[in-house]
Structure 1
Amino acid sequence: MAANSAKARKRHAGDSPSSVYVLPSDASDEDDFAHVGSSQSSQSQSQTSLDRSEMGVIEEIYCENFMCHRKMVVKLGRNINFITGENGSGKSAIIAALQICLGASARTTHRGKSLKNLIRNSDQGEQPRSALVRITLLNDGKGTDAFRPEQFGTRIQVERLIRIEGTAEYRLKDMDGRVVSKAKADLEAMLDHLNIQIDNPCAVLDQENAKLFLKGDPADKYKFFLQSTDLYKMRAVFAKIEDETNVRKESTLEHEGRKVQLLQQAHAQAVKMYEKAQSFAHLEEKLVSVKHHLAWSFVRVKETEYETLREELEQCQTKADSYKKHMAKYQAQVEVLTADQHHLNESLELETEKLADLDKQQQELKHRQRQLRYPQQIKEAERKQLEHNLQKSKKRLVEIEKDKLKKRQRYQEYMSSLEHKQAQSAKELDSVQLRLDDALDQKRHLEERGNVDFSAELNRLTEELDTCKGQRRDCKSERERVGARLHSIRDQSKNRLLAFGNGVPYLNQLIEENLDRFSQPPIGPLGLYVSIPEHRKHWTLAVELILKNVLNSYLVASGPDKALFDRLKAKAKCGQVSILIAKRSSHKYSGLHVPTGSLQEHAVASIVSVDDPNVFNALVDIAKIESKLIFDSRKEGEERTIASSSTSGSRSVQFYANVSEVYMPNGDKFFARRGNLGFIANKTMKHARILSQDHSAEENELADRLQVLDRHYEVLQRDEENMIRRRNALNRDQEEHERKMSEVNRRIHTLETDLNRLKRQQDQSMDTSIGDTTMLDDEKTELEFEMDTMHTRLQVLNDELEHDNPELAVISTDLSTLQATERSIHTRLNELKDQTMGLYQRLMQAKAKQVKATQQVDRLDGEIARKAAEVATAAAQVQDSVDKASSICGRIEDVEHPSYYNAQIHELNHRMTVEKAQFDHMDLCELELDVQEKAGKLNQKAIEFKNLSDNVHHVSAMLVKRKLKWAALRKEIATRTSLGFNKFMMKRDFAGKLKFDHTGQRLDVAVVRNKEGGTKLSVVNDMKQLSGGERSFTQVSLLMALGECIECPFRVMDEFDVFMDSINRTLTLKLLIETAKTEATKQFIFVTPNDLSSIKEDSMVKIQKLLPPRDRQLGRT
């Protein structure tokens, strides 16, 4: 009943002229989904209009990944439809979808050179691999109006799938969506039956044809007239028939006449050959005798071959016995050599072990030797250091003597130049004082400019930069997290197991490979077994939050199964997967403590659909799904689950029985604890990640979030770069200021030093310290004392180093003994290795001989078996040839070689061939049959030639009559079109006339305004002399006049009001609606980007408006 009611609602929605819908799975796709809205339409059409609609009117157009539309469904009324919207909103794409779906090529739509060019280009995510267009046609007529109603029913769905590779296919479906046919021939049959003319520009007028009509010359207009009325197609058919008839006259008839003559000649020749035939039986008898001798000759050859093969078999057996004796001898040699090699290997291993023991003893002695030598090495190093220090002290004593001599010389020079220096010092003092004053002024100027606190500004900038870097790092981490989640969602569409963790697909593969090791197959992840009904899909997030600790779990039957599963889980690196141990059951829990009444259907146990009883029981045990409820709102949940009670003036909150927690669709929940109502908001998850099959909303949200984060990251990066530049500039300013201050301070310090020096030179008449050598004398005394101390210590060290440790000598002796033993062992090892190598070479030679002998024996055994088989085959062939020859004749002993008899047979056959060549290699019976056959062919071809000649002449006569009728029909249609054109032009207060020149194939349009004083000079014959609106109105009038002459169930006009002003557009719309109403059984689809507010509400008119392009929507928001 539910299915029937849903189907009834669907049909009712399809019949409503205002029903326009958007697929719910893509309703949140703001980037790619083209929404269609109904700005003005009636709620129903009159039942009379519905009943009188012609078969083939369009009820629905569906586009998927087609041109600018991701997914769109447009439902059309059965009479008058207006589709409007801004430029770029995809109006013309709907008309292109209609043309493509009904068999038009891409070039016909003027939208691309190939069908693959019509697939939507995606600027986000992966490029679509295909596009789908579908239209639904009415087919509920009675009698012969409907097209195959027993197959398609009351609706015909026509689909065309376009692939990125450039291929496409048609699908004709019935009213329930089942494919009936994929053949284009059936599509063409349907179009012909319903009289749908998709290539007729008057039936489907797109933008390019509309512009061509306005700009075309009279010849183009005449061609448009012929195409619109199907006269062009009829003329093309007549021309094709005429060409085919001429071909039949000129070539086929002449060709068939020549065939009749040739058959007559062949029949006469066959009769003549039959009369001259003679017998040649004597040659055949001799040929039989020769063939008998040939058969027994073959027997003699086979017997000879048999004897030869038998002798070869005996020779092979003799050779095989000889090689077997050699193989046994070599086997004994290999065994003796192998035993000797084993003995030598044991000796080598023994000597190698001795060598290893000696090496270990040497290492221990060397280690002890290094320990004993360590104190002496320290003393030796100290002695060398003392000797080095003594050498340095001696050099310093020599330098001190030289310094004392220099001081005495400088003192003498100083005394001689003292008076001259004092005179110059006064002048230098004044100069230095002036430079010092200038430097102090410069310093005060720099200090005034350096009042800026560089350190504070730098600290502030550094703090801001650190903050910006932290924000950028956080933003980068968030981008990576959002990007990873977005990538994970896209991967889940290919493999749902990825929703439970990246390693879960590999874990399931390991489980499948090791199923025989489990006592019972593991079940999981449990989320795969949980589904939510379609009408409860909006509760998916709440259900996943309730079950989130169980969805990625697996059920095993025992502890050993859990241990095995742990190992597989570690191998797959699935740490997030949990394991539950539970006994298997074939029934779900009964008697669950679920809430009573209407609350029961809100319990999670009633919401989720779980077919596996083990999974259901685990959810009950772990997640308590029987006591957790979900409501659409908090208010509804509180009103229906809380049973409040007041005690001692206070209000205590309690749930009804078997209710523990209540969730909302967004994941928020509330609960009762100790009489209080608690509430926890969901801040962790916004979308269901495991149970949801449609992640488009989360994917779009994450994509938008990623774009925002990208822009924020770029802003932070620019801010960081700006702050770094400002900090670097401030550092440079600070360094420059400090450099100048440092330079000035150095100059001031230098000048003050020079000034003080000069003042001291003036205050002191003589400096006695120049010749003072007291410090040098003191240093010399200290050095001499240190040298005496070092000499004493050096003597002590020399005495200690002369007495060596006796244990070192013992260790050296032991090492020498061990090294000698090691050399002797090495000598013995080399000898053993040489012996082993020589023995190994002899062993390899013996084995090689043994292998060669074995191979020869195997080869001879195989050859013996082959020869035996050949002997048996030859014996069978001999017997077979004897049997065959005996069946022909008795045995003939005296025979020659088969070649002798073959030559005789060849000679006899040649003689018989020469005889038969005179009669085309046929005997008398064959010649008689040949005469009869050629006579039959001649009679049949004569009858066919006469019938073909009659048909060609009859078709030519009928074609002449059809052309005359076509010319009369063209004249009638031209007259009706001209009258209709004038009728429609009068609506605009114009008079119009169509001037047809059928001979020159031209159509001239004459227009004159109906006003007083009009003359022939006011007639307009050139459309370019009219205004844009008048030209468009003229075009519409001509199209409507031509439309009265065609029988297509629907007519489409795209941008019919181009160049029109508001007045002409209003009149044109009124004209179109009035004309369409007069043809209520037909469907009209008008596409325009302009405003349609002037159209009044009407039960037969439906207006649909497309949303603007995405970039304009974003600009408005």
Structure 2
Amino acid sequence: MAKRPVAPESDAEPDSVPNTPASKRARTQDPSAEPSQRGSKRSQPKGKGKVRKQDEDDIDLAGSDDAEVPEVKDEEDEEEVRKFEEEQEEAIRASLEAKSKTVGGVAEMGIIESIQMFEFMCHKYLTFTFGPQVNFIIGGKSAVLSAITVALGGKANSTGRGSGLKSFIREGQPAAEVIITLKNQGEEAYKPQIYGKSIVISRRFTKEGSSSYRIMSKDNKLVSTKREELANICDHMNIQVDNPMNVLTQGVLITILCRQFLSASAPADKYKFFLKGTQLQQLSDEYDTILENVTLTTKVIHSKRDAIEDLRQAFKDAKDRFEEASKAREQKVKVDELKKELAWSHVNAKEDEMRRKLEEVAKLERRLPRVQENVDAAEAQIQVANEKVALHEQELQDLGDIDELHAQKTVLTDQMRGNKTKIQEYKSREKELDTSFKEIHARIAQLDHNIDEEKKKLEKNTQAETEQRNLKLADTQAQLIKADKELEDIKAQKIAKNDEMTAARVRGQEAERMRDDARKTIQECEGQAAAAVTEKKNSLAAFGRNIKGVLEQIKAMKWFGNVPVGPFGMFVNVKDPQKWAGVLRVQLGGAMTSFAITDPRDRPALKKLLDQSGNQGAQIIISEYDIFDYSGGEPGPNVMTVLRAIEVADPYVLRILINQQRIERTLLAETRLEADNLLSRFQGGGQAWSADLYNVRQFGDGGGNSQMLTKLGASDFRQNLFTGRNAEAQAMHWQNQIREANERHEQAITTLDQCRRAHQTANAALQALTTQERQTHQRASNLRIEMNRIQSEINDDLPAAIAALQSAREEAEAEKEDVKAKFATVEKTKSDLDAEQNKLLTELKRVRDLVADYEEKKGSIRTKIEDAVTDRMNAQNSKAHYSKKLDEEKKKVDEASAAAALLQEEYESWSEKAERYCARVETKRKAEEVQRNLDSVQAALKEREKKHGATVEEMTIQVNKAQADLHTAESDLADVTALNKSLKSSLVLRLQKWHEFRRHIALRCKVVFQYHLANRGYYGKVLFDHGAGTLQLKVQTDDQAGTQTRDKDPRSLSGGEKSFSTICLLLSLWEAIGCPIRCLDEFDVFMDAVNRRISMKTMIDTANSSDGKQYVLITPQDMTSVAASPTVRIHRMLDPERGQRTLPFGAA
């Protein structure tokens, strides 16, 4: 690339420009002509100090690859520069004037809303909430700028306050954290649907050197922890945290700008600072990289050109050798003809093979309709069976339940029992009233007799008789008291004897029930013991009659399908017989005698065999041998199912039980309540069996029912299933049961005899007490009559005694009538109870008839359902059998069709290849015969080819390969050359644009610098020399305007003047930066009051007129001269706590 010649700009002073290195732009000529200008390694661009040779760098950017490169110069024509500045300077000044009169808009994104520091530097906790435009921080909080740099991912050493993150951690603390909140609004917001109106960035670092990011939304919801996301956010918002022009810390500002930048720094250093701050340096470095790659590609192109000449020579040599061997072609013509015939003879053979395979496919396809008919017939049978099952299930559902009838039966039974007790009580009351009636009647007769006697003795009464009557009265009263006491004792004894009789009767009834149960158990256990003895001799006895012989005949017979499998009980054992055997005997016991077949045609033969052996009740199941995966239908592993409670040795039997009994999804529980609770945990309903013999169902719609299972009798053959014991132990078990039953029987008989004797003894004692009670009652009545008679005789010897007797008779008559009325009432009540009892008995009979009718209908429907289910299962098995057979036939057809298709494809492929090789050759010779003829001709040809060292085919291949290699290399070289030429042209255009950018930025910097100096009454210039890569400042103060003829060098300026000039330069450079944040620390450290006031006003005015920019300005001095406003926010902070103490000078 051609070098840019130097042409000073309009404001340059060549006599004052020292020798400095050229700018870090991509060079196009050898830079070794200025070796003295690269004095120090520090001033060189990184990695760009290599000396390029002229013959390597001179590449064509517009024409051919070897043409001279046109120059893109850094030097500019003075007249052109002057004209450009005249055209643009007034426009820039006008825009500055217009801008100063307007208020800039607030940025919608990319500015800092707040920052928080925890254990950062010397601050335990520090926070700021920034305004959107101008922010002054009073108190020298330089840590703020360091925190901003660290939080936004900047390097620690760029802050000038530490060499690493660990140096920012507060003394004595293990970690520090900085949290910064960025505004994220407007149309250009970064991922607003994720972050919202603010982005919160947290960076935490520890003493151990670890550092982590947390990037959160406005609601503090974590979005990312990756540094790449932070880089994307900064790129999107144009935040350049490491750009020295964006965040000017205290060290950078004072050390570089105030103390050295304006005075001691070289013009080349200022120029570098200008390029880096405006990001022109970054573009320059990238263009240098592009130029290096273009140069490297040019070298590769030159080397490729040399290789093409070698390829051309190789092609020429191969072509010469091929022409020398052309004389052998005549003999090869014969070989070609034979090869053509051989190719078509192979095609003819393949055609014959294809025709035979197609005939086989047609034959197999003719068999499919017959098998399909069988499948359709089985499907129709399944449909009919499904309809029957649905119909009968609906009938069963419509039948409802009889829980209400059972409840009604219980109520009626209880009422009849209560009425029976009342009737017995009323009968006893009748007997008592009858006895009382007889006693009263006898008393009345006695009174009549006494009245007659009294009438006869009226005139015989004397004084002596009166005394005798008194003595007799006292004796009669004593006897009456004794008789009444005897009656009370007798009544108490009668109640006790009645209780004894009732207790004896109840115990006797219970003993009779126990005796009958024991007799029944003995009979059943004797049968089971006999069966166990038989099972000891024959282990298959529990599954039917003569099962051993049946199995032997099954093995000997011929079957259409697999050999029948059964009985199922041979393969099934219960893991925990003590717990689950009872309910499984009831529910699965019937299936243990079943047999299974795979072909429906085997059913008649097996049915006949079982009937002849006396096993008519054994079920025959038709099921295809399908060892399917059933794990999908099982519940969780912590739920007990029938499948998990048993062990099935045969996988075929296991699958049948799964299909027939749903054992993989039927649950087991110890009680009905536990089963109900277990099913309620499963959606969609289900079924469970409980160990206390209940079948519990729950439906998907929320309903359900539970049905008590019928307990097996001791004589039921299923009692010998799932015992977990061998035949000998089973026989011993039943003998023990018989012995225990005999003991219970003897004990029951003994108890019954004792109860009978006790009842007879109590009854005899009761009869004796009743007689004694009647006699005592009669005696007491007579004594009472006698006492009344004597008393009457004593009181009045006149007919008044007769009147007393008559009065007693009237009382007895009244008592007699009362007893008759009570008897009538008791008799009527008993009659009513008898009538009610008859009604209850009639109603109970009716309820029992309804229950029996319901059970009969339910049993009939269940039988129909079982028959329909059996028919459906048989039809399903038939369908599965024929479907499998159909699949097999289809598979055969598919395999044959695939083979035919493959042969046809091979035939067509061979025909196509043969046609590409040559036109069709009609031949009837076989391929073997043609091959023998070809081999003989080729042998003769090889003898001739030995003279040339290679075959004609090999030489043809060599020529074609050499030609193809040459063509490929030439094409690749042309493509790479065109690409490299395009890259060169693009680089030239980009360099031109870069120069335009630099020219505009430099001019604007000059004008803005002069504009800001004018606010103080100063005059200054920024002198750029882009060819030499230098930047110089000239400033003339107001007191020099009349005395100085030349501009003042910055080294002669005062501290305040330097600081003010620095601020003006910064403001001019900031105009060229797109970052929305400007940070400046202790900018007024060397300013006097006047320069500080003017600088402050200048910065505030500039900030107010800037559009979408935020300024953070830190000063240790007072800000009383600046008033807060909507655009200016002032933060006054206390000094940080650094743990200083007062030195004890006073004590000395």
TM-score by length of 2: 0.33
**Larger radius of gyration between Structure 1 and Structure 2:** 2
- The TM-score with structure 1 as length reference comes to 0.34
